[in-house]
Amino acid sequence: MNFSGRFYENLYQNRLDKAQALRKAMLTMVNIDPKEWAAFTLIGEVE
């Protein structure tokens, strides 16, 4: 699964807030080439 797929899975299926979903997606992909996930950031409210 790609980074955005993991993010949205965490957000909607696992019911995490945006910051937690982003962090968990990044941690699951930490051993994959950073160019696939390192540029993603959150701006604004996380809930």
Q: For the chain, what's the residue count?
A: 47
Domain-by-domain residue ranges, the chain? 3-36
For the chain, state the CA radius of gyration: 10
Residue 7: the pLDDT is: 96
Taking a C-beta distance cutoff of 8 angstroms, is the pair 29, 36 a contact?
yes
pLDDT digits (tens, 9 = 90+) for 1-47: 899 999 999 999 999 999 999 999 999 999 988 888 889 998 988 77
Q: Which residues of 14-42 are buried (b: 16+ CB within 10 A; e: fewer)?
A: eebeeeebbebbbebbeeeeeeebeeeee
